A and B are shown apart, each in its own frame.
Chain A
């Protein structure tokens, strides 16, 4: 039974139906962490008041049952991902937490403005570093940081891309602390997670129908349509009704569900490298009626594997000659090869400077203070303060290869320090952030868990984003790691219209 409409009771008086235990009975707030739902113990934020009251009137096991049902439905629908290197875990779901996170219109406005600004600057940066290189010549960013970055693709130099758009899609990780929103990471290569955002929304909308309706939550379901529109706009010049395809590495890729889902949402073919071929500089796909020309490729495959002739020769996933067709301007690849240079963890430190340099504006969203170990003083600082820092490898993502100083043993820290000394340029360090918390369903009612959010921004002839995000949550008490591959879960983010 779904009792979301009944059993509403005051948070303060403690009266109400004979409920075994109320959801927020033992919920604790801690001033060190911004709480997304409560201002102080037992005092919900204004925009969360109604939700809080309604949820408090529901029994935890009732919500847990809805959650379990949704997770089973994810498994049945195949809304899964794979964790590499884990035996027997080919298909796993991302656990969903059913207590939504709310964002009011003013907060979303900050996030949206910040994201638009950031993506604009990042695209200008990419056009610049693969073009005239003004930002380097003007000494804003060191040349070796850019050209020495493993993600910098020399083959992209001097290439003009349609509308100057290198990054057509990005998924930016944003966290909130008591100081406000901050960007943790820009994912500019093949960002994933948008299908989980939509799946979580569908699950919550179905189960908490009336609550959802009362909150006037802004819709996100048109993402597929916006994505298709964006990709159409990036078609090679002169192509009015482009043939768009989504290039996937195949069913064994961890995000295959998402590839399939997006292809279906957009109504485009989901192709693998072997379905494509290049003839006289033109890309075709093999259909039952013969070859059909392809104009835009939304690739969900890393640069290295796109084309064995241009990048990694042993790749079986790509299509020989694809990059040649791209250079000729006969096909658009989104995102463009080489965008990884702009989301490198060391280059990240310079994004606020890029915004000032290209747009003459102050960044709306702050960066996390970052120490580049390539600089001797910052290396020394990092090594001296390992127990309070998070250290990351510049080229890694997904929470891999990371040291969380305060949670590591002295031996682990010592071993990691040795690695840093061997190749300092490969590491950056950041302070441990006091990530905001949001109530999540735990064994004994609601408990605070750390969260972040990943909104998805599209950039064609204009910038577009749906008001929502894949809200990631560290389901383990006290954990700060929200990555799905490291035991994280998801939540629905409700952006309110007022």
Chain B
């Protein structure tokens, strides 16, 4: 497969997962505004911003500030920043625009329905602003956008030819998911240490964002044990939004694209090492030691950055030593 096409598909995967994750975070955060005290809502924003490695343009509410109007104005500004802000490369609109721009470049190998779906999602968000969704039902907007991305992935699953293009799409998707999940759980622990007293709803929200609440309840009833929740989100290979599952998909894609090739396989080795650390080292850590847990999560995140560089250097922008 043409390297530029592979790279285009890889980035479509990354940007769509980033946009989907953004929708998920925001719809959950806006839901907290229905019935939670101002202080808790503020904490939610702090976790959210920490998870996406960004600082709000106007800063957070001053500690102890409990003015409802301030809270609402802040929420409006921050939702705008994360959804529409042109200067924020990771805003949902920018992610969709970037995914669509990559899709334009590779349209000849993308199914017509996949393009239509992505193009419509982009056109839907292109000309609106926060005021449009705020005065309507912001939840519905995030849900609709997330659904469009899910539809895109559904069409991909049901229609794409399983060649390298398919593998690079999901490689990007799951590298991004691994990185985002590690960042989110790390940010959550920073905001809500396991030893501190927090309402259950903060932790349940984390499960909801990761679409893990139903499975968790099924496995662990209603037991509220933050350590167990973190374990579940990091190490359970059967959970679609766990770090371990995402890594399994990364490894699977890398195995497929490197099979029978003489190219360097550093990327595959690195992904394998990341998975092995979760399988073997993670269970041995002290679950009450948040610092150790966070360090492990930060290692996963940093490894994702290096993994991306390995992939780019192996498949997209490799050095030409000699022609065949």
Q: How many of chain A's residues have a CB under 8 angstroms from any CB in B?
A: 30
Select from chain A the residue with minimum beta-carbon distance to B7: A288
Contact B2 A77 (CB under 8 A): no
Contacts of B257 in A (CB 8 A): 288
Contact A290 B116 (CB under 8 A): no
Q: Name the contact of A284 in the complex, choosing from B119, B164, B323 (C-beta under 8 A).
A: B323
Contact B107 A264 (CB under 8 A): yes
Cβ of B55 < 8 Å from any Cβ of A? no
Select from chain B the residue with minimum beta-carbon distance to A286: B3
Bound-state Cα–Cα, A272 to B105, Å: 10
Contact B323 A275 (CB under 8 A): no
Contacts of A261 in B (CB 8 A): 108
Bound-state Cα–Cα, A269 to B120, Å: 25
Cβ of B109 < 8 Å from any Cβ of A? yes
Cβ of B62 < 8 Å from any Cβ of A? no
Bound-state Cα–Cα, A75 to B119, Å: 9
Find residues 272-294 in chain B having any chain A CB closer than 8 Å to their own CB.
Answer: none
Contacts of A256 in B (CB 8 A): 104
Contact B261 A289 (CB under 8 A): yes
Cβ of A76 < 8 Å from any Cβ of B? yes
Bound-state Cα–Cα, A250 to B101, Å: 11
The interface centre, meaning the residue of A76, A275, A289 with most chain B CB atoms within 10 A of its CB, is A289
Find residues 143-173 in chain B having any chain A CB closer than 8 Å to their own CB.
Answer: 164, 168
Contact B115 A78 (CB under 8 A): yes
The A/B interface has a contact count, at CB < 8 Å, of: 74
* Interchain nearest-CB distance for B170 vs A (Å): 14
Contact B1 A288 (CB under 8 A): yes
Mask: chain A, 51-95; 1 = CB below 8 Å from B; 0 = not: 000000000000000000000000111100000000000000000
Contact B107 A260 (CB under 8 A): yes
Q: How many of chain B's residues have a CB under 8 angstroms from any CB in A?
A: 31
Cβ of A251 < 8 Å from any Cβ of B? yes
* Interchain nearest-CB distance for A39 vs B (Å): 42
Contacts of A75 in B (CB 8 A): 123
Contacts of A269 in B (CB 8 A): 2, 5
Cβ of A404 < 8 Å from any Cβ of B? no
Mask: chain B, 1-25; 1 = CB below 8 Å from A; 0 = not: 1111110000000000000000000
**Known: A76-B123, A78-B104. Contact between A287 and B112, CB under 8 A?**
no
Cβ of A285 < 8 Å from any Cβ of B? yes
Find residues 230-286 in chain A having any chain B CB closer than 8 Å to their own CB.
Answer: 250-251, 256, 260-261, 263-264, 269-272, 274-275, 277, 279-280, 282, 284-286
Contact B4 A275 (CB under 8 A): yes
**Known: A260-B108, A277-B320. Contact between A286 and B2, CB under 8 A?**
yes
Select from chain B the residue with minimum beta-carbon distance to A252: B104
Find residues 435-493 in chain A having any chain B CB closer than 8 Å to their own CB.
Answer: none
Contacts of B4 in A (CB 8 A): 271-272, 274-275, 286
Mask: chain A, 35-47; 1 = CB below 8 Å from B; 0 = not: 0000000000000
Contact A78 B119 (CB under 8 A): yes
Cβ of A155 < 8 Å from any Cβ of B? no
Bound-state Cα–Cα, A286 to B1, Å: 8
Contacts of B105 in A (CB 8 A): 250-251
**Known: A260-B108, A264-B109, A291-B323. Contact between A77 and B3, CB under 8 A?**
no
Contact A76 B323 (CB under 8 A): no
Contact B1 A251 (CB under 8 A): no
Cβ of B324 < 8 Å from any Cβ of A? yes
Q: Name the contact of A279 in the complex, choosing from B164, B263, B323 (C-beta under 8 A).
A: B323
Contact B1 A287 (CB under 8 A): yes
* Interchain nearest-CB distance for A375 vs B (Å): 47
Contacts of A285 in B (CB 8 A): 2
Cβ of B174 < 8 Å from any Cβ of A? no
Cβ of B203 < 8 Å from any Cβ of A? no
The interface centre, meaning the residue of B101, B120, B315, B316 with most chain A CB atoms within 10 A of its CB, is B315
Find residues 288-323 in chain A having any chain B CB closer than 8 Å to their own CB.
Answer: 288-291, 293
Select from chain B the residue with minimum beta-carbon distance to A271: B2
* Interchain nearest-CB distance for A339 vs B (Å): 25
* Interchain nearest-CB distance for B291 vs A (Å): 40
Contacts of B5 in A (CB 8 A): 269
* Interchain nearest-CB distance for A345 vs B (Å): 33
Contact A288 B164 (CB under 8 A): yes
Find residues 302-324 in chain B having any chain A CB closer than 8 Å to their own CB.
Answer: 315-316, 318, 320, 322-324
Contact A263 B108 (CB under 8 A): yes
Contact A287 B2 (CB under 8 A): yes
Mask: chain B, 92-115; 1 = CB below 8 Å from A; 0 = not: 000000000100110111001001
Contacts of B109 in A (CB 8 A): 264
* Interchain nearest-CB distance for B4 vs A (Å): 5
Q: Name the contact of A78 in the complex, choosing from B107, B164, B315 (C-beta under 8 A).
A: B107
Q: Name the contact of B101 in the complex, choosing from A251, A260, A280, A293 (C-beta under 8 A).
A: A251
Select from chain B the residue with minimum beta-carbon distance to A78: B119
Bound-state Cα–Cα, A263 to B108, Å: 6
Bound-state Cα–Cα, A5 to B311, Å: 57
* Interchain nearest-CB distance for B323 vs A (Å): 4
Bound-state Cα–Cα, A288 to B171, Å: 14
Bound-state Cα–Cα, A277 to B324, Å: 12
Find residues 329-357 in chain A having any chain B CB closer than 8 Å to their own CB.
Answer: none
Contact A77 B112 (CB under 8 A): yes
* Interchain nearest-CB distance for A236 vs B (Å): 17
Contacts of A78 in B (CB 8 A): 104, 107, 115, 119
* Interchain nearest-CB distance for A331 vs B (Å): 14
Contacts of B261 in A (CB 8 A): 289-290
Instruction: Please give 9 more A-B residue pairs, beta carbons under 8 A apart, in addition to A285-B2, A288-B315.
Output: A77-B116, A78-B119, A263-B108, A271-B4, A272-B4, A274-B4, A279-B320, A290-B262, A290-B263
Top 4 nearest A-B pairs (CB, nearest first) are A279-B323, A263-B108, A264-B108, A288-B315
Q: List 19 A-B contacts (CB under 8 A).
A: A76-B116, A76-B120, A76-B123, A251-B101, A251-B104, A264-B107, A264-B108, A269-B2, A275-B3, A279-B320, A286-B2, A286-B318, A286-B320, A287-B1, A287-B2, A288-B2, A288-B164, A289-B1, A289-B164
